[in-house]
Amino acid sequence: MRAAVITKYNADWELKTLPDPRPSPGQVVIKIAASGMCGTDLHVHHGIFGLPLPIVAGHEPVGEIVEVGAGVTSLKAGDRVGVSWAQKGCGRCRACQEQRIMYCQEQQSWMHLGGGNSELMLAWAEGCTLVPKGVSSEAAAPVFCAGFTVFSGLRHAEPRPGDRVAVLGIGGLGHLAVQFARALGLEVVAVTGSASKKSEALELGAQEAIVAGDHAGQALAKAGGADVILSTSNSAAHLSQIIEGLRPEGRLVSMGVVDGPLQIDPMSMMLRQTRVIGSTQGARRDLVEALDLVAADKVKPRLEIYPIEKVNEVRDRLIAGRVRYRAVLQH
Ligand SMILES: [Zn+2]
Ligand SMILES: [Zn+2]
């Protein structure tokens, strides 16, 4: 099988032919149709996770099962599935007993089995989720990380009807966050660093879009503030600022890989009874619900689609911040 292999950090990924994987008991082999490229793949590329090389990245994979390992009864060849980051836990720790495998210290992911930038991908059956009819593999792919992440973030914020949701950062995650919040009937204000994205944010469904300027929090407060802020920002400075845009009892949900500690005024938090919530992919039901909203055409991932041969070009385009809004590789 052909795969885009990371053999060296900060260097081009190599298109290589690797042996076809065979499933162990409990595993499946998926013929990948589409594989989204996520900002986290850039951290992998830059060696931030310190993963042993060589490795095949890609944690937004969708394709068709071509082989099932012994003991797999829930899936069969021909099923169209995507694979979550957290595929399987140890089964025995407290988190696994509670069926919250995302907290298992021995959780298995693409890092252990190889990712979706590959013709064939190995996955644990329990890490797979069926892709509903009516959604293309390309549109489903980004839901497995970007969509799942922001939908869980929204659920963690426990929005009430009538709440105003601000989305900080309109990129791969943010463009979906705007649409999911709208699909749940919430009022959405987009906060973006670039004036050029203002009209795009409105097209995505935000009722209002503001440019962050020197201080995103003050800009948001001036525009009426928000009950929920969904932040996809990686910047501790921006995150520290945006807290000022929270309305009383507001919730700031941080979903980015943030580059340092936040500066928070606890007195202001106490008096205004605000909350800061760390959030990543939560319960699997969030993923299923997010896929349903895409299948129902209520949320439309905006894609740039490329053949796998262009993987290095696509990665550099993502580094340069030029992707609108998610790049998906086809095999
Ligand atoms: Zn991701
Ligand atoms: Zn466990």
- For 27-74, the DSSP string reads EEEEEEEEEEE-HHHHHHHTTTT-PPSSB---SSEEEEEEEE-TT--S
Between the CA of 44 and the centroid of ligand 1 the distance, in Å, is 11
Pull the structure tokens for residue 293.
């909203």
Q: For 249-254, what is the mean pLDDT? A: 98
pLDDT digits (tens, 9 = 90+) for 23-44: 999 999 999 999 999 999 999 9
- Report which bound ligand comes closest to the CA of 256: 1
Between the CA of 55 and the centroid of ligand 1 the distance, in Å, is 16
- Report which bound ligand comes closest to the CA of 88: 2
What is the rounded distance in angstroms from the CA atom of residue 6 to the CA atom of residue 312? 11
pLDDT digits (tens, 9 = 90+) for 177-201: 999 999 999 999 999 998 988 999 9
pLDDT digits (tens, 9 = 90+) for 152-179: 999 999 999 999 999 999 999 999 999 9
- Report which bound ligand comes closest to the CA of 38: 1
Between the CA of 41 and the centroid of ligand 1 the distance, in Å, is 7
Q: How confident is the model at residue 115 (pLDDT cuts 50, 70, 90)?
A: very high
- Report which bound ligand comes closest to the CA of 91: 2
**Percentage of the chain modeled with pLDDT above 90:** 97
Between the CA of 224 and the centroid of ligand 1 the distance, in Å, is 31
Virtual CA dihedral for 274, 259, 198, 176, nearest 10 degrees? -80
The mean pLDDT value of the chain amounts to 97
pLDDT, position 194:
87
pLDDT, position 331:
87
- Report which bound ligand comes closest to the CA of 98: 2
Measured over all CA atoms, what is the biggest interatomic distance in the chain, rounded to whole angstroms? 60
Q: For 229-252, what is the mean pLDDT? A: 97
3-state secondary structure 67-118: EECCCCCCCCCCCEEEECCCCECCCCCHHHHCCCHHHCCCCECHHHHCCCCE
Between the CA of 145 and the centroid of ligand 2 the distance, in Å, is 21
- CA distances for 200 relative to 22, 184, 270, 274, 301, angstroms: 44, 20, 36, 30, 13
Between the CA of 8 and the centroid of ligand 1 the distance, in Å, is 20
Between the CA of 125 and the centroid of ligand 2 the distance, in Å, is 16
pLDDT digits (tens, 9 = 90+) for 297-329: 999 999 999 999 999 999 999 999 999 999 999
Between the CA of 108 and the centroid of ligand 2 the distance, in Å, is 10
